[in-house]
Amino acid sequence: MKITKQTTLKKILEKKGADKILKKHKIPCLSCPMASAELSFLKIGEVAKMYSLDLEKILKDLNSIRDTQI
């Protein structure tokens, strides 16, 4: 699965190791109680824009993970 700016956090978190990459890039939504209910529709592109994060670096790292699921 190729991750794009339209991919939801829920879908990304299905990829083994994705949580570590999101933490490395300081994605705050993983620990936010409000966001946990919204993971299925929060898109990585929107989150990166909201928090002024480098979307291209995040996508590059996420897409470098093997395509194995938990």
User: Dihedral sign, CA of 45, 50, 54, 57?
Assistant: negative
The DSSP secondary-structure symbol of 59 reads: H
Q: Residue 15: what are its φ and ψ, rounded to 5°?
A: -80, 125
CA distance 67 to 53: 24
- Asked if residue 63 has pLDDT above 60, the reply is yes
Residue whose token pair is 């620990």: 31
Q: What is the pLDDT of residues 38-47, one digit of tens each?
A: 888 999 999 9
> The whole model's pTM is what?
0.84
**Whether the Cβ atoms of residue 6 and residue 45 lie closer than 8 Å to each other:** yes
Give the three-state DSSP class for 8.
Answer: strand
